[in-house]
Every structure is written in C-alpha cells, then in structure tokens.
C-alpha cells in the first residue's frame, strides 16, 4: 500500500448472509461517505427480495452505487463493473477521501482491484457452437463440459451463471487452455489505497443465517416476485439462486417445499465457493461481522 496516496477504498467482502451490508453502512456513516455495491445481481432493478438488496431505509441512510442501475435485459460483466466502479470512486473522492465497497462477487472485486487480463479472440463459429448446444441442452451441458474438461476453473466458478460458463468454454474450445491461465497476469496499479476486509462466521452459524434469510425472503413475497419474472426466466440475470429454483416450481418440475430446500442448499454451496475464492487472496484481513470496534481500529491504523 502506498501511504502517500490520500484516497482509500475499504472493501468489505465475504459470503452471502454474513452481514456485509450492515458493516458497510456503519463504516460509510462513520467516514461520511458512500458505498459501491460489488454484487452482480443487486444492480438489476427487477430483482429485489431474492438478491437481499439493502432495504429502502438502508438505501436512504447511505448513498449506494451499482444498485438498481441496470435492467435484467442488459448485459453486465466484470468489465462493466470495473469501469462503473472506477467512475464512482472518482465521484465519491470529490467529497470524501474514503469510499466503501461491499459485496460478494469475487470476480467483480478482483476486476476493480487488479484490472482485467487480455482474453484471447474467440472465432465466431466456436461461440455459435456453444450457444446452440446451450439452447438445445441447457445449462447442464455447460456444467458437465467444464466440470470434466476444466476442473480448475470449475472449482471456483459461479456454477449457475451461464454467461460465465459459456465464456470459460469459449476460451477452452478456442485455445485448449483454461480461462484461469489468462488471469492474474498483470495486475494494474490503482491510484488509491485499497484495504481488504473479509467477514466470516463459523460455518454452522453462517448456514443458520442462510436458512433463516431464505425463510424471511419467502415471507416477504419472493414467490410473487419470481412469478412476475417468469416471462424472463431464460435471461442470464435470472440464472440466479433463489430464482431458478422457483422457476422449477412454477414449471411443475418440483414442489414448492423442494424449491425452498434447494434455495437453501444452493445458497450454502455458493457461500462455500465464495469463501474459497476470497481465502485465496492473502490481502484480506478477516473479522467477525460483529467485531466492529476492531474493524474500525484496523482501518484507522491503515489510513493514519
């Protein structure tokens, strides 16, 4: 970290349901600043309950960027986020030397911190071949191909995100190499300090939080929210835990009880993959979400 630089981004990362939103709001209020969401789904206006978007009261308490910014029919990628977040930091730095970023989408946070590596060009016929196979066989085709042929990528992949899976398969078919070999090559130097804080809980407690949150989402009206989105169920933005399971229910593939069980199970699996991703990055310092005093002390020591 370059202490000569006056501006600092505090990143609050960790698995779903660990408590990132609450900590981020406390920090933003402490430093009188704003929050950039690093969540690949909360940016969509049509998704609310199922993506655990901050409440209207929370959004009113602290200005948030990258929430309700796009529609589900727009393509949003890590590159989209990188540019948006860099622009947002410059806006925030006009009135505060500190900005807060909070979210669980590891690839977005990595793109913001390190930049994106150059990816190989993909011949049009390969891209079309994968699109056709996906349209005929569904996401299971992508999952099985990558699990078998690119296990390194598959271990930490967003396994329900067809866009990411198709991209990885394109690179594999075009080059014979895993998309992971094109990552981490040349991290860029950002013109601000970055403090990386991870939030974690014992696994059994995190899983209790996840199960409780899913039950709360059902009580708050998730079933009606998903029902309204049925016409759009094939869009990439809706290949998301909490939505795809209820689409299965509405399409008469499973019972409602089974759909809810699947949401809980798939969310637990997603949280485990998030922890695997973030724990690989040794720049993170880890805290319990309720250890706020030590989080503040750590940040103040860093920005002093």
16 is an annotated ligand-binding site residue: yes
Give dist(CA 41, CA 37) in Å, integer.
10
151 is an annotated ligand-binding site residue: no
Q: Which of 104, 74, 119, 115 shows the shortest CA–CA distance to 200?
A: 104
272 is an annotated ligand-binding site residue: no
Give dist(CA 169, CA 146) in Å, integer.
7
Angle at 24 between CA 72 and CA 284, to 5 degrees: 100
Give dist(CA 267, CA 273) in Å, integer.
10
Provide Rg for the chain, Cα atoms: 19
20 is an annotated ligand-binding site residue: yes
Helix (H) or strand (E) holding 206: helix 203-220
From edge to edge, which strands make up the β-sheet containing 35-37? 64-65, 35-37, 98-102, 8-13, 193-199, 285-287
Which pair of structure tokens corresponds to residue 87? 């622009």
Give dist(CA 109, CA 133) in Å, integer.
31
Answer whether 278's CB lies under 8 Å from 14's CB: yes
214 is an annotated ligand-binding site residue: no
18 is an annotated ligand-binding site residue: yes
Give dist(CA 165, CA 132) in Å, integer.
14
Binding positions are: 14-21
Indicate the annotated binding residues for substrate. Answer: 16-21
What residues are designated binding site for ATP?
14-21
């Amino acid at each position: 970290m370059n202490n000569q630089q006056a501006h600092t981004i505090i990143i609050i990362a960790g698995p779903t349901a660990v408590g990132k939103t609450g900590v981020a709001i406390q920090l933003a209020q402490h430093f009188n600043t704003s929050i950039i969401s690093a969540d690949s789904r909360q940016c969509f206006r049509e998704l609310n309950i199922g993506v655990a978007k901050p409440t209207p009261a929370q959004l009113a308490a602290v200005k948030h960027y990258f929430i309700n910014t796009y529609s589900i029919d727009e393509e949003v990628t890590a590159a989209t986020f990188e540019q948006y977040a860099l622009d947002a930091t410059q806006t925030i730095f006009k009135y505060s030397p500190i900005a807060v970023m909070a979210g669980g989408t590891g690839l977005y946070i990595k793109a913001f911190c390190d930049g994106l590596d150059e990816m190989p060009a993909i011949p049009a016929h390969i891209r079309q071949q994968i699109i056709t196979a996906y349209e005929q066989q569904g996401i299971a085709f992508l999952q099985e191909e990558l699990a078998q042929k690119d296990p390194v990528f598959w271990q930490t992949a967003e396994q329900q995100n067809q866009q990411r899976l198709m991209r990885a398969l394109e690179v594999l078919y075009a080059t014979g190499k895993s998309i992971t070999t094109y990552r981490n090559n040349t991290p860029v130097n950002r013109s601000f300090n970055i403090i990386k804080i991870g939030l974690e809980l014992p696994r059994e407690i995190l899983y209790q939080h996840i199960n409780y949150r899913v039950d709360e989402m059902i009580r708050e009206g998730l079933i009606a929210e998903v029902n309204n989105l049925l016409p759009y169920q094939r869009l990439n933005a809706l290949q998301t835990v909490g939505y795809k399971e209820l689409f299965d229910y509405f399409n008469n593939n499973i019972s409602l009880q089974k759909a809810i069980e699947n949401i809980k199970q798939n969310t637990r699996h997603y949280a485990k993959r998030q922890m695997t991703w973030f724990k690989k990055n040794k720049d993170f310092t880890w805290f319990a979400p309720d250890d706020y005093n030590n989080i503040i002390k750590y940040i103040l020591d860093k920005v002093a």
